[in-house]
Amino acid sequence: MANQRFQNALSRTPQDIPPVWFMRQAGRYHKHYQALRAKHSFMEMCKDADLAAEVAMGPIQDFDFDLAILFSDLLFPLEAMGMGLTYEPAPTLAWQLTPDTVSKLRSPNEAIAGLEFQRDAVRATRAHLPKDKSLIGFVGGPWTLFAYAVEGSHKGELSLAKRYIASFKDFCDKMVPLLEQNIRLQFEGGAEVVMVLDTAAGELSPTMFEETIDSTIKKLAQAFPGKLGYYAKGINPQHLRHPLFRERGLLGGLGFDHRWEMTDVLKTQQLGFIQGNFDQSLLFLEPKAFEARALAYLEGIKKLPIETRAGWVSGLGHGVMPQTPEENVRSMVRLIREVMAR
């Protein structure tokens, strides 16, 4: 019960056509999502296993992606830790994390019950998925969760989170064990891979990234060797200089945003799967202009030897944005397969 193209990407088996998965493929741009959202709150859609599965299935049925992903939100571990969480419609925490309030966070063993719904949602999604589709889960990266807990968003340069950086260790002493248990729940539900989405990590310098990110991600990778993917928005090659991001057997793969040249990434990265990275904003172009950009991107990758393209999971640089035309999403999936099959 898995997608063969995705399994080939995980094992770096050369193949002409890559598996296709877009971050946020189940989201506000999609009429299927909008119809469900008109009847249910976002929280209900995440926490009701059948609803979460229905949301995740929508883009599989409409666009024929190779992978489904758990429909949820990366902030739920903060709610489980006792910080409260509402969507009005933007996510809002009940209180702000400061050096004085870190001690208020619940212990991982107390908090994990608040995340069991994700295991149930993964299980329900797997039950609905065709046997030839794969299923992955995700969690937020520790730094991204810390930044949101402190700042209340991921916008800007995160100066307050950096000011409170000395509290990051105390935060991680509770959050990393909770994320480990959370990831385990998702694997129990049937996830094949779990992505660690560290959206805010690109705001750190390479030195601070190494000081704050590497050790926490390494702990998670060691608990699930070869089973976790890692994605951070806005990073550059200097952020990935640590052995964690080069050694086989720890991380299962890496995601890259549209700031990277994918042909160079495929030539130089040999760690598991490589996910990305067409610029998601180009999906807003008129269909002919969009198709020209997509073809240029894909033809460049097509010129690489098939062995060089091994491991590629084709997708966007970040994720499908609200109001993205569905026509262009459908065309992108089609073009990936047509161009790479030639």
Distances from the Cα of 20 to the Cα of 17, 67, 68, 205, angstroms: 9, 7, 10, 31
pLDDT at residue number 271: 83
Nearest-angstrom CA–CA distance, 138 and 182: 9
| Domains held by the chain: number | 1
Condensed to tens digits (0 to 9), the pLDDT of residues 108-148 reads: 999 999 999 999 999 999 999 999 999 999 999 999 999 99
Note whether 85 and 79 are within 8 A (CB): yes
DSSP state of 103: G
**What average pLDDT score do residues 75-85 get?**
98
* Residue range of the domain that includes 83: 4-341
- Please tell me the chain's helix, strand, coil percentages from 3-state DSSP, rounded to the nearest 5: 55, 10, 35
Nearest-angstrom CA–CA distance, 96 and 317: 31
Q: Of 15, 144, 19, 141, which Cα lies nearest the Cα of 69?
A: 19
Residue 25 sits in a domain whose CATH number is 3.20.20.210
Which neighbouring-strand residues pair with 255?
A: 231, 275
Nearest-angstrom CA–CA distance, 342 and 339: 6
Condensed to tens digits (0 to 9), the pLDDT of residues 238-293 reads: 999 988 888 888 999 999 999 999 999 999 998 899 999 999 999 999 999 999 99
